[in-house]
Amino acid sequence: MASPRILSTVLDLLSLLLLLAALGADHWLVANSRLVTSYSGLWKVCVNSGCWMFASVPGYIEATRAFLFLAMIAGFLSFFALIASFFRSHLGPVSLSLVSAVGSFSAGLCAMIALAVYTGEFAGAVNVPPGQVTFGWSFGLGWASFPLFLLTGVVTLRTLRAS
């Protein structure tokens, strides 16, 4: 059954690309006012036309980075196991489709934890003026990768059952 396996591979690649774009982009938070336009990501902050790398970061950004890196590693494991499953079904006694499904579910869980930590910290901030600071598109890409990784895991498990 190559068709569900191809779908799993495409979904996994899409999930991984969304996660990588979210991890590398700098539009997690966007602040607009009449005088200042700024945006920030996990690595740097930009105000008007100048950008600066973070010298030190709060713990919630460190946790977000760490869990997104874990999600990225699990996503790569899932993707490479899916690619390998086209050539052979097992690696020793372990099914490559099962490795891929576990990797996809793990990536989704790690991405959810990372984004929930980031969301919770921002939502709990008391010094943020309402309406002036919003979540950006890269934050949305991160959240989009979470259900896609879970969907990839479900489709991969269906592939495992069908074979």
* Predicted confidence (pLDDT) per residue in 15-34, tens digit: 999 999 999 999 998 887 77
CATH number at residue 71: 1.20.140.150
What is residue 30's DSSP assignment?
E
| In a domain? residue 118 | yes
Q: Is position 141 within any domain?
A: yes
C-alpha atoms less than 13 angstroms from C-alpha of 18 in its C-beta half-sphere? 21
Phi, psi of 43 (to 5 degrees): -120, -30
Write out pLDDT tens, residues 134-148. Answer: 889 999 999 999 999
Neighbour-count burial of 126, counting CB atoms closer than 10 A to its CB (0-12 exposed, 13-18 middle, 19+ buried): exposed
Whole-structure pTM value: 0.89
19 assigned to some structural domain: yes
Residue 49 lies in a domain: no
| 48 belongs to a structural domain | no
Domain residues for the domain of 20 are 2-25+56-128+137-162
Give the helix/strand (H/E) hosting 78. helix 59-85
Total domain count for the chain?
Answer: 1
According to the model, what pLDDT value does residue 160 have?
78
CA–CA distance, 143 with 131 (Å, rounded to integer): 21
> Among 40-49, 84-93, 144-153, 154-163, whose mean pLDDT is lowest?
154-163
**Is the residue at 32 inside a domain?**
no
Checking DSSP bridges between strand 29-32 and strand 133-135, what pairing results, if any? antiparallel
Instruction: Examine residue 42 and state whether it is found in any structural domain, yes or no.
Output: no
Structural domain includes residue 43? no
Confidence bin at 113 (pLDDT 50/70/90): very high
